């Protein structure tokens, strides 16, 4: 028999003055599939990093890097840093990132909100809310199954592993196929797949992308109802002994659950 263990929850309607991510708003009006109470408190910074959004890749390439956040943000490929859509939007909300397109036109927050709300690039609004909540608490978060750096996977000088999963390992030459590799890697990520969504690490100033170690837990976003026992067991098998947490987002409230197996004693009559 399984017992649900309530871990912790977050309500975006909190009045905590220390929260630098959320802007509280009593209005219930909606815009682009998200409520105004979920809009962030924008952080205006004098020095920003700059990224160029690649629509085909569904990621942004860092072209000007400022700040220490890049130690634990983005994946490294052939010396370049690429950020996922949730990482890109989060940094834009903090005012730490200026995003442009291929023609060097500035891309607005509203445009990125629309992409996330539309389920683009392997991310949906609920998944972004989970990412934003954990990131605001200081956790280090990466897409599950996506290596932080090619140094952290087995590779040679001429070849690089694009995907390392239980199902397949694909190897190609570095260079001309780099962009194709990232496109395929993120293109294969399906929002409704029964697999962990994020690898989550505790805040650690010694974190290195080249040797991240095992995550402290893996996170799965529940789409609708909580997963069944069979689904939880299937997810746990993919975690390889690393704790699994289930996340559920309801009307801006981000909740986390973990599950324990317990044996009930047999009561004699």
Other C-beta atoms closer than 10 Å to the C-beta of 107 total 18
How far apart are the C-alpha atoms of 187 and 249, rounded to whole Å?
Answer: 24
Phi, psi (rounded to 5 degrees) for 107: -105, 130
What is the overall mean pLDDT for the chain? 77
pLDDT of residue 82: 97
How far apart are the C-alpha atoms of 132 and 126, rounded to whole Å?
Answer: 10
Distance of CA 108 to the CA centre of its chain: 20
Helix, strand, or coil here: 149? Answer: strand
pLDDT of residue 43: 52
Angle at 211 (CA atoms; ends 156, 50), nearest 5 degrees: 90
| CB 258, CB 1: distance < 8 Å | no
Lowest mean pLDDT among 57-66, 76-85, 147-156: 147-156
Lowest mean pLDDT among 84-93, 131-140, 226-235: 226-235
Residue 55 has pLDDT above 50, yes or no: yes
Pairing verdict, β 49-54 and 97-100: parallel
Query: What pLDDT digit, counting tens, does each position of 158-186 carry?
Result: 443 444 443 333 333 343 355 555 555 55
Nearest to 58 by CA among 27, 22, 89: 89
How far apart are the C-alpha atoms of 82 and 95, rounded to whole Å?
Answer: 18
Q: What is the pTM of this model?
A: 0.72
pLDDT of residue 259: 81
Distance of CA 105 to the CA centre of its chain: 26
pLDDT of residue 203: 95
Helix, strand, or coil here: 250? Answer: strand
Nearest to 187 by CA among 122, 118, 142: 122
Q: Give mean pLDDT, residues 94-115.
A: 96
Q: Structure tokens of 31?
A: 């815009």
């Amino acid at each position: 028999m399984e017992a649900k263990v309530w871990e912790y929850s977050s309500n975006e309607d909190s009045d905590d003055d220390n929260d630098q991510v959320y802007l509280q708003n009593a209005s219930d009006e909606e815009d682009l599939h998200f409520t105004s109470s979920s809009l962030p408190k924008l952080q205006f910074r004098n020095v920003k990093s700059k990224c160029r959004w690649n629509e085909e890749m569904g990621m942004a390439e860092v072209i000007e890097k400022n700040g220490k956040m890049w130690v634990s943000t983005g994946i490294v490929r052939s010396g370049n840093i690429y950020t996922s859509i949730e990482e890109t939007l989060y940094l834009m909300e903090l005012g730490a990132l200026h995003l442009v397109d291929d023609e060097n036109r500035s891309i607005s927050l509203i445009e990125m909100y629309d992409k996330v709300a539309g389920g683009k690039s392997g991310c949906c609004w609920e998944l972004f809310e989970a990412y934003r909540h954990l990131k605001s608490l200081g956790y280090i978060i990466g897409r599950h199954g996506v290596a932080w750096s090619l140094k952290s996977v087995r590779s040679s000088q001429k070849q690089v592993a694009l995907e390392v999963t239980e199902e397949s390992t694909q190897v190609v030459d570095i260079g001309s196929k780099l962009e194709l590799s990232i496109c395929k890697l993120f293109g294969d990520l399906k929002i409704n797949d029964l697999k962990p969504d994020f690898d989550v690490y505790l805040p650690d100033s010694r974190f290195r992308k080249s040797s991240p170690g095992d995550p402290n837990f893996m996170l799965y976003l529940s789409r609708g109802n909580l997963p069944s026992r069979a689904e939880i067991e299937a997810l746990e098998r993919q975690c390889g002994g690393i704790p699994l947490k289930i996340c559920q987002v309801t009307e801006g409230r981000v909740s986390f659950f973990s599950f324990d197996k317990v044996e009930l004693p047999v009561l004699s009559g």
